[in-house]
Structure 1
């Protein structure tokens, strides 16, 4: 049927409206789409670019070089050494066991290390390198490099590892580093991300641990491009880290080596302190150990050998060990009495060999007694009864006050592990800690450095230095950090009466230089080098009245662990003190017979900065000293040769 013009016009108008409507919808949709595209591509471009970069680019930390440690002469004590390691990438290796079998034909593999590596491979991504062997020789690396076509996934690498070239000599001072453990991380609230790098080394004990933040340095970073599964495709840029600070110690490697060698065979400790600046010239503990064993993780066999040794080689006895100071404490009581005005230097007490106090008999070491003795004589002969009488008149509070003034019973701030505070007991201390009242017998025991009194070899060396100088000599072991000199420990005056000090010093001089002095056998005879000293013997067991009546059992007849400790302190030269020394020999029996000869040798080595002339010793000792010098000389490190080999 033919459409009329009217119908055609109506249809055309309807079509136009639909077209316009649909066109409008399309235009709106395109507009919204264009707006959204602009929003995403322009307004939010930076945000999406950052997200894309984060998916494509990773930032990897670069460990910094650890700061090195040197002695006062610039000789390396702890340094970074190039270390070759062998790594494996599981994904590239394919059949790991076959590859390891081939590798074992080229170099010796540690079964424990292989087992650890297999465990790491199972819990790590297949493209991550796992260390199979560390600190391998150049010969092993060469053989592996030649055979790389037959060792898929195996790569020799070079890095830095900690090394201790003087090995045992500084083990108790510097300590050692080791791989970060879960225990290390658990101790930190917000651990540095560096610590999460596999097998990253941190200080475990000693200076390495106490100065960790300065030695560690700051991490560098590198930007790497990775694919969808995280494999590195290429390195985009790199920023190196800031190396750790270098430390220079106050210790002298030659004296430290001599101290360790001289203490060998004993369970002992020795400290040498410079009287002028408070520098610790040597801090020795015996027996010692090789810190290099700990760097990559010590084996169970080696660790058991150290922990099961009754002489406790892992203990830094010089600063951690605390002992009854015995008669070395008598200078404290003497100065307390003089300063309090309780006695004068010529006042005397009578010693019949014992003193009755509260129905208990306190004995002098000399059974027949010393008769009437004054202050200098009491030190020269080490009369116990003199100090029993004096302590009861002075009182424990003034004695403890003087002990702390001289460095006993206070914490000395040194960056070493577990520095002991010792104990200068008071009445309040006993009430608080023991829940008991102080009794007069406690004061009498304290008078001769027994009972509750405890001191470390470090504290006793400080005491000797303060008695020698009258100054508040404070120990320091770090001389400089990155070349910046650290504060001196010379200290201000202690405020003690110089006349009182002079009488105590003279008493110590008589100990070593008077024929009737308890330390005369270990004297120095070289003019200008004579020392003033004091011996100490501290009991570790009670002697019953029955045993004393029958005759006290000789230390030589007792098991080692029940023998008395032997102690000695000194300063020299007497007229111009340069060094103060303390030696403690655990269960060494007698201070004069065991500790004093060791201390004399160490004192002379410090004063002469090497082997002293034989005429510094009494004639009767010279042949034995000559033989000992030759034997110990052979144990000294050849630093010059070691420097050349390193270069």
Structure 2
């Protein structure tokens, strides 16, 4: 059937309309695509270029060089050494266990370290590098580099690791560094990205941790190009980090070594201060340990040996340890009585060997008593009964006030771990802490440095410095940071009558140089360096009435842990003090026999800046002294190191 011209014309119009609609739709779609392409390729070109670069370019942090630590003469105490390590990125390795199996055929891997590394990999983000082995040889690095195609995700690296050239001498002062742990991260609210670097070292104890913010530095960055499987192709650019600050301490490395060597074989502590400005010249705790073992990874057996040693080598006894100061506290009681006007230097008290208060007998160390005693004699012969009488007149509050004025019962702001506050008791303290009222017997015990009173060797050195100088000196351990001198903390006067200070100073001089002084066996005979001091013996056990009746056991007849602590504080020269020293020998027995000889040797080593000359000692002792020095393991004096400066 033939279509009419009208129908044909209508059909043509319909087809033309549909074609126009279809063509328009196609043109619109093409326009959208073109617009989108322009938007992506022109308007958002930078964003997509960045995304593309992120697929082939990695940004990695570069650890900065840790700041160096020097002694007051510029000798290096903590430095950095090259350390080759092997790290792995789980994201790039694919199958870490399989890659490690291949790696083990090339270099030796410690099984325990490898297991820990695998565990760390699965605990951390897949893109975080994890150290598989460190302190590897250059040969091992070469083997890994040559076999790189078979070891995806594995990269040899060269970095810096901490080293302590003087070993155990400054272990308790400098401390040591170690890898960042989960515990470390948990204590930091906003951790530095540096802490995510594998095995990044931070301070764990001592100056290393207290001055971490100065020593750490700021991270650098490097951009590296990687291929499709994550293999590093090349380094594109690098921006080095900012090294940590150099720290110079006030300590003298040679004096520190002498003190450590002199304390060898004892559980003891010694602190040397300059009483003119508070500089800590030496601060030795014995026995010590090698901090390098902690940096490199101490073995279980070595660590257990340190923990199980009854002499507690890991404890810093100089600042952490607190002890009853014994008779070294008597200067505090004497000054409290003099300043309050309760006694003068000429008044005498009779000592018959004991005193009875409220049906309780308080004994003097001399069973027969000292007879009539004035202030100087009471210090020279360390008469307890004299100070029992002062305690009753003065009372604990004024004794405590004087103790704090002399620097006891304070936590000093020095960059050491666990600095102790000690304890200077009061009536309120006992009521709040012990739930009991203060009694007269408590005051008598406190007056001779027993009972509740506790002080650290650092505090005793400060007390001695203040008595020697008449100024409220504060201990200073940091001398400069990046060459910028740190201020002396205090040289204010003590607000104590100089005449009263002079009387106590005379008593301390008599202790060492008087005919019946308790420290006479440790006198110095060289002109111009005569020493003043005070012996102390603090009990660690109660002596029963039955034991007194039968005869008190000698210290050498008791187990070591039940023997008395031995103490001695001193300064020299007595007429123009340059050094103040405190020594505590745990369970050493008598202060005059155990602590005073050590303190004298350290005083002389400080004044002579080296091993003391024999003619500084009484002629009858020189043979013994020579043998002692010959047996001591002393280091040769170190030459100053050349360090960086940012000043």
TM-score by length of 2: 0.92
1:406 deviates by: 0.6
Aligned counterparts of 1:144 and 1:342: Cα–Cα separation in 2: 77
Contact 1:92–1:127 (Cα < 8 Å) also in 2? no
Residue 281 of structure 1 is matched in structure 2 by: 281
Residue of structure 1 equivalent to 2:319: 319
Query: C-alpha root-mean-square deviation of aligned residues, in Å?
Result: 2.6
Map residues 75-114 of structure 1 onto 2, 5 A cutoff. 75-85=75-85, 96-97=100-101, 100=104, 103-104=107-108, 110-114=110-114
- 1:491-640 aligned at under 5 Å gives the runs 491-632=491-632, 634-637=633-636, 639-640=638-639
Q: How does 1:273-422 map to 2 (within 5 A)?
A: 273-422=273-422
Counterpart-to-counterpart distance in 1, 2:141 and 2:223? 30
Between 537-546 and 195-204, the greater mean CA deviation after superposition: 195-204
Query: Quick one: distance in 1 between partners of 2:547 and 2:124?
Result: 68
* Distance across 2 between alignment mates of 1:560 and 1:39: 85
Q: How far apart are the structure 1 equivalents of 2:477 and 2:570?
A: 20
Q: Give deviations 1:418-442, integer Å, cap 9, x for gaps.
A: 0010011111111111111111111
Which has the higher mean CA deviation after the structures are superposed, 432-441 or 533-542? 432-441
Partner of 1:451: 451
Does the 8 Å contact 1:141/1:156 carry over to 2? no
Aligned partners of 2:130 and 2:198 also within 8 Å: no
Structure 1 residue 121, shift from structure 2 partner = 7.1
Which secondary structure state, in structure 2, belongs to the residue aligned with residue 537 of structure 1?
A: strand
How far off its partner does 1:113 sit? 3.5
- After superposition, the C-alpha distances for 1:208-262 in whole angstroms (9 at most, x for unaligned) are 1111111111111112234455443432221111111110010000000000000
* Aligned equivalent of 2:138, options 136, 141, 157: 141
Offset of residue 46 of structure 1: 4.0
For 1:412 and 1:180, the matched residues in 2 are separated by 28
**Matched residues in 1 for 2:421 and 2:449: separation?**
16
Matches within 5 A, 1:157-172: 157-172=157-172
Aligned equivalents of 2:519, 2:124: Cα separation in 1:
66
Residues 30 and 114 (structure 1), Cα distance of their counterparts in 2 relative to 1, 3 Å cut: closer
Q: SS where residue 78 of structure 2 aligns?
A: strand
Secondary structure class of the residue paired with 2:472 = coil
Question: For the residues of structure 2 that align with 1:72 and 1:149, how far apart are their CA atoms?
Answer: 47
* Greater mean alpha carbon deviation, residues 16-25 or residues 620-629: 16-25
- C-alpha displacement at 1:133, in angstroms? 4.3
The equivalent of 2:645 in structure 1 is: none
Provide the aligned length of Structure 1 versus Structure 2.
Answer: 635
SS at match of 1:320: coil
Structure 1 residues 326-384: Cα deviation after superposition (integer angstroms, max 9, x where no partner): 00000001111111111111112111111111110000011111111111111011110
**Cα contact 1:471–1:493 (8 A) shared by 2:** yes
CA drift at 1:300: 0.5
Equivalence for 1:264: 264
| Structure 2 counterpart SS, 1:170 | helix
Given that 1:473 and 1:490 are in contact with CA atoms closer than 8 Å, whether structure 2 keeps it comes out as: yes
Distance 1:230 1:544, change over 3 A: same
Look up the SS of the partner of 1:222 in the other structure. strand
Q: 1:324–1:455: 8 Å Cα contact kept in structure 2?
A: yes
Whole-angstrom distance in 2 between the partners of 1:462 and 1:424: 15
* Corresponding position of 1:65: 65
Q: Conserved in 2, the CA contact under 8 Å of 1:523 and 1:617?
A: yes
Q: Distance in 1 between the 2:334 and 2:213 partners?
A: 44
3-state secondary structure, aligned to 1:444: helix
- Contact 2:289–2:314 (8 Å) recurs in 1: yes
1:124, distance to aligned residue in structure 2 (A): 8.4
**CA apart distance, 1:12:** 3.4
State which drifts further: 48-57 or 403-412: 48-57
- Asked whether the 8 Å contact 2:254–2:637 carries over to 1, the reply is no
Deviation, 1:26, is 2.7
* Contact preservation (8 Å) 2:128, 2:196: no
**What whole-Å deviation, never above 9, does each CA across 1:533-566 have from its counterpart, x for those lacking one?**
0000000000011111111111111000000000
The yes-or-no answer on 1:244 pairing with 2:248 is no
Distance 1:642 1:479, change over 3 A: closer
Is 1:202–2:202 an aligned residue pair? Answer: yes
Find the aligned partners of 2:26 and 2:121 in 1 and give their Cα distance: 58
Normalised to the residue count of structure 1, the TM-score between the two structures is: 0.92
SS of residue in 1 equivalent to 2:540: coil
Judge conservation of contact 1:179–1:297 (CA < 8 Å) in 2.
Answer: no
How far apart in 1 are the matches of 2:416 and 2:586?
A: 21
Distance, in Å, in 1 between the alignment partners of 2:12 and 2:145 is 83
Whole-Å Cα distance in 1 between the matches of residues 24 and 219 of structure 2?
60
- The 8 Å contact of residues 85 and 158 in structure 1, kept in 2 or not, is answered as yes
- Rounded to whole Å, the distance in 1 between the matches of 2:489 and 2:17 is 100
Q: Distance in 2 between matches of 1:423 and 1:460?
A: 12
Q: Is the 8 A contact 2:106 2:140 kept in 1?
A: no
Stretch deviating more after TM superposition (563-572 or 233-242): 233-242
Q: Is the alpha carbon distance of 1:95 and 1:273 closer, same or farther for their aligned partners in structure 2, counting shifts above 3 Å?
A: closer
Q: Is the 8 A contact 2:75 2:641 kept in 1?
A: no
Per mean C-alpha deviation after superposition, the further-off stretch among 116-125 and 462-471 is: 116-125
**8 Å contact kept, 1:279–1:489:** no
Mapped to 2, the partners of 1:379 and 1:97 lie a distance apart of 74
CA deviations over 1:574-626 (Å, ceiling 9, x no partner)? 11010100000000000011100000000000011112221111111111112
Contact 1:351 1:373 in 2 (8 A): yes
Q: Secondary structure at the match of 2:594?
A: helix
From the superposition, tell whether residues 126 and 443 of structure 1 become closer, same or farther in structure 2 (CA, over 3 Å): closer
3-state SS of the aligned residue for 2:361?
Answer: strand
Unpaired runs of 5+ residues, structure 2, are: 643-647
Over 3 Å counting, the alpha-carbon distance change for 1:396 and 1:267 in structure 2 is same
Find the residue that maps to 2:178 and give its secondary structure. Answer: strand
Q: Give the superposition deviation at 1:641.
A: 11
Measured after TM superposition, the shift of residue 60 of structure 1 is 0.9
Tell me how far apart the structure 2 counterparts of residues 546 and 284 of structure 1 sit (CA, whole Å). 39
Equivalent-residue separation in structure 1 for 2:219 and 2:272 (angstroms): 38
Which region of structure 1 is more displaced relative to structure 2, 71-80 or 623-632? 623-632
Question: What's the CA shift for 1:129?
Answer: 7.3
